[in-house]
Amino acid sequence: GGGAGLCGHSLARAPRRYYEYIFGQSWPQRSPRPLGARAGPELLELQVVIESADPGCQSFPHLDSSEAYHLTVAEPVAVLKADEVWGALRGLETFSQLVHEDDYGSFLVNESEVEDFPRFAHRGILLDTSRHYLPLKSILTNLDAMAFNKFNVFHWHIVDDQSFPYQSIFFPELSDKGAYSYNHIYTPADVHLVIEYARLRGIRVIPEFDTPGHTESWGKGQKDLLTPCYSGEEPTGSFGPVNPILNTTYEFMTKFFKEISSVFPDTYIHLGGDEVNFDCWKSNPEVREFVKKQGLGTDYAKLESYYVQKILDIVSSYNKGYIVWQEVFDNKAQLKPDTVVQVWIENNYAYELSSVTAAGLTAILAAPWYLDYISYGQDWKKYYSVEPLNFPGSEKQKKLLIGGEACLWGEFVDATNLTPRLWPRASAVGERLWSSKNVTNLQDAYQRLTDHRCRML
Amino acid sequence: AENEPPWGIPCTQLDVFVATPGCDGLPSLDSKESYKLSVLEGSLLLSADTVWGALRGLETFSQLVGRDENGTYYINETEIVDFPRFPHRGLLLDTSRHYLPLRAILETLDVMAYNKFNVFHWHIVDDPSFPYESSTFPELSKQGAFNAMTHVYTASDVQTVIEYARLRGIRVIAEFDTPGHTLSWGPGAPGLLTPCYSGEDPSGTYGPINPILNSTYQFVTSLFKEVSTVFPDFFLHLGGDEVDFTCWKSNPKIRAFMEEVGFGEDYKKLESFYIQRLLDIISSLSKGYIVWQEVFDNEVKVKPDTIIHVWKQKPTPYMEEMANVTKAGYRALLSAPWYLNRISYGQDWMAAYQVEPLNFEGVPEQKDLVVGGEACMWGEYVDVTNLAPRLW
């Protein structure tokens, strides 16, 4: 088993970090302790024990990691037991929330026994670094906030139409030409830092390289990648989605995803596949010709699937699993059984969850949790009240819903407003994804959320 | 020659000429904020009647200066003659729903100056907390603040705000909202608020200020005497909004009073009775006053130089209210379409921008009575962690 220390070096920082969280901030003492007041029983130590033979300290968290823990707080030693280090991290967070200060500045913790584990294994936050670049500091601060709320997936929507901040090793022109500026990029060192910072908090980093739509910025540094749009016989000068009919496209993707697969250690890569506008493809005579030749009829969804299929095969060849937005499923691409489908369209999302899981595919839910859609007042309540399994389906189907994500799209978000916009609203989602189905009382949640918010500050 | 940059003689100074000498005064509603800015090769001149105009011109000047790729600062030749359309351009901050540390207020004043705002409407106390440290009634904040040590504005804090604002040409108008919105006043001023009744017995809860007691008016006189001295602007905002009559109605002594003075069941008359006396007290302190629109809607007799603050969108559409207020001869301030605390998704700045304050039926004399408006950032969901990105 793990025994003393927390997996030696790699996760030794966690106890130190939590020590500072718990004791580092001391509010000014309000009044001196009256003479003769009883000191009471003391807690001298929190012991952390990791039980399994392979505690997972040197490795990365993954979908099947155990995050369960058992925390016993009693005099004089509290014990935190977990199968894997990931559970220990969750337990440390809980322990830090149990410790509180009295009016005299003493730290107190109640005798407690906590047996805890997450309801859903995939509990994510999506950040968008293409609509607005987010400096490293913002991303790291957000990872801290995620850890306070037991989130375990950072879905990094790293590039999109507006900008390409990811500095690629094989294709440096992509960010050279596609980023907002040289100051608005993520170097390989930056990316590595994010991955490691996340790992130390038990957070998986799943990058999203969304294609074939949402790729305008890719075209700046990669000639002939995007489809030239036409007006009649003439190219208009503007470009559409990735060009699905050229071999060069797939040569590029093969090499590009080889890099991505090695840079990002998580088993999964998010491949996007949402909101593909067919107009540009339809306008292009070569694409039209291709569609005819391939017998795809007039249904351009079939062309989209043709493209997606090939990308999925490329990524599979690198032994990666993939997550796709729901359109890929809706448009009937042939998906491997272990594909994860992310449901994001609000209209009828319960029905979509039924369809996806009925087809035997794994699903994650984002639709009711688009936190970029701000509104006045306590909108955390509506996020909290979502019951992910409220869709028609068998027990077997329900098991295929592995979790969800709170999304903070970047159209109106940058480092100046990210933190207050995302938190503590996302905490409501965090609890919904971790806690039992019956933890639904809004008044009770309100009390705990207000305390938690002050703690996070 | 071709290789020379297009800059002419480098300019090294901006001359600022102010006609009216003296920088120690306070800005007022009548202050002249006009300025002329002349940027010519070899000569940069900013001239204004008053120092307040010079401040506005300096802000404009700072916005005209650009920087090229080489790091050189430059400015285009320009001639500007500028003055504000409306003399009252304000921002409301609410430090009762959530306390705002001094630095948040000062930072806001800086950004107000960047945007040529000239009134800081300090909605300093309300139901949830009383952070204003009163020298006459120290118990008010001792009992009424969220925390009497950490969540108060001392006399020194208040002076800091006023001076910081003054140096940016910003007036500080304090609002001590009564008779409603006063729950936090209760703990520090026993007997001030109306005890509500449940049948024959006090329910234990309190309502608006008790308008039938002499002690009320003694208290109000003393408090506002202090407030009038502490806040040097001619105007005070007296509130007067959203007075809930339920508690008054429940109180048998008040019901008896209503009968005695012949108000019957019309509690608006009781509200007016209080407000009238309050306004008289303020006038005797030689201050002008601004009140929320209910005071006008409920037909309180106000002095002709009262400014009515229009904030409601219903039941009367605010443009109609503006017409009514100005038709009755009162000056008006518009806030209704500018409640910036009511956030929504997307570029909602456009809706605020497209408001035309004078878009109501009325003769030119009426339109002249609109002195300006205020963007309001109510504090129910706002504190120092999100104030700046929410407001700007």
Tell me the pLDDT tens digit for each residue of B346-357. Answer: 999 999 999 999
Q: Are B345 and A417 a contacting pair at CB < 8 A? A: no
pLDDT given at position B375: 98
Instruction: Name the strand (E) or helix (H) holding A107.
Output: strand A107-108
Domain range for B180 is 88-391
pLDDT in tens, B243-270: 999 999 999 999 999 999 999 999 999 9
- Do the domain assignments include residue B75? yes
Q: Please indicate, yes or no, whether residues B60 and B147 belong to a single structural domain of this protein.
A: no
User: What gap in Å lies between CA B307 and CA B296, rounded to an integer?
Assistant: 10
Fold entry, domain A122-456: TIM Barrel (3.20.20)
Q: Are B343 and A457 a contacting pair at CB < 8 A? A: no
Q: Please indicate, yes or no, whether residues B323 and B197 belong to a single structural domain of this protein.
A: yes
pLDDT in tens, B15-40: 999 999 878 899 999 999 999 999 99
Q: Would you say how long chain A is, in residues?
A: 457
- pLDDT exceeding 70 applies to what percent of chain A? 93
Of A99, A96, A106, A116, the C-alpha closest to A18 is A96
pLDDT given at position A55: 66
Q: Report the complex ipTM.
A: 0.92
For CA atoms A46, A51, A57, A60, the dihedral sign is negative
- Do the domain assignments include residue B69? yes
**A417 Cβ under 8 Å from any chain B Cβ:** yes
Residues of chain B contacting A412 with CB distance shorter than 8 Å: 345-347
Q: Are B388 and A416 a contacting pair at CB < 8 A? A: yes
Q: How many CB atoms lie within 10 A of CB A113?
A: 9
Average pLDDT over residues B110-114: 98
User: What gap in Å lies between CA B203 and CA B197, rounded to an integer?
Assistant: 5
Q: How many CB pairs below 8 Å do chains A and B form together?
A: 34
pLDDT given at position B1: 46
Residues of chain A contacting B344 with CB distance shorter than 8 Å: 374-376
Distance from CA of A446 to the nearest CA of B (A): 14
CB neighbours of B20 closer than 8 A, spacing ≥ 6? B49, B50, B51
| Helix and strand numbers, DSSP H then E, in chain A | 17, 16
> In chain A, which residue's Cα lies nearest the Cα of B346?
A412
Q: Please indicate, yes or no, whether residues B211 and B350 belong to a single structural domain of this protein.
A: yes
| Rg from Cα positions in chain A | 24
Q: Name which of A28, A30, A420 is nearest B386 (Cβ-Cβ).
A: A420
pLDDT band of residue A213 (cuts 50, 70, 90) is very high
Extract the tokens encoding B294. Answer: 């209910």
SS3 A42: coil
Q: Is B331:B371 a contact under the CB 8 Å cutoff?
A: yes
User: What gap in Å lies between CA A319 and CA A267, rounded to an integer?
Assistant: 8
Q: Is B270:B208 a contact under the CB 8 Å cutoff?
A: no
Region at B146 (left for phi over 0; alpha for psi -120 to 50; beta for the rest):
alpha
In chain B, the largest separation of any two C-alpha atoms, in whole Å, equals 96
Domain boundary among B65, B82, B99: B82
CB neighbours of A8 closer than 8 A, spacing ≥ 6? A57
Q: Are A376 and B386 a contacting pair at CB < 8 A? A: no
pLDDT band of residue A29 (cuts 50, 70, 90) is very low
SS3 A110: coil
SS3 A234: strand
CATH classification of the domain holding B54: 3.30.379.10
pLDDT given at position A4: 40
pLDDT in tens, A372-431: 999 999 999 999 999 999 999 999 999 999 999 999 999 999 999 999 999 999 999 999
Fold entry, domain A7-23+41-116: Chitobiase; domain 2 (3.30.379)
Q: Are A421 and B344 a contacting pair at CB < 8 A? A: no
pLDDT given at position B5: 59
pLDDT in tens, B265-315: 999 999 999 999 999 999 999 999 999 999 999 988 888 989 999 999 999
Q: Is B30:B60 a contact under the CB 8 Å cutoff?
A: no
pLDDT band of residue A2 (cuts 50, 70, 90) is very low
Q: Which of B386, B387, B391 is the best substitution to test chain A (most A C-beta atoms within 10 A)? A: B386
| Helix and strand numbers, DSSP H then E, in chain B | 13, 16
Could you give the number of structural domains in chain B? 2
φ, ψ dihedrals at A23, nearest 5°: -105, -15
Residues of chain A contacting B390 with CB distance shorter than 8 Å: 417, 420
Domain boundary among B36, B65, B82: B82
Average pLDDT over residues B96-104: 98
Domain ranges, ordered by start, for chain A:
7-23+41-116, 122-456
Q: In B129-234, at which residue ranges do the beta strands (DSSP E only) sit?
A: 171-178, 193-198, 201-209
Residues of chain B contacting A372 with CB distance shorter than 8 Å: 345
User: Average model confidence (pLDDT) for chain A?
Assistant: 92
Residue A46 has pLDDT above 50, yes or no: yes
Q: Please indicate, yes or no, whether residues B123 and B31 belong to a single structural domain of this protein.
A: no
pLDDT given at position B169: 98
pLDDT given at position A429: 98
Domain boundary among B34, B61, B82: B82
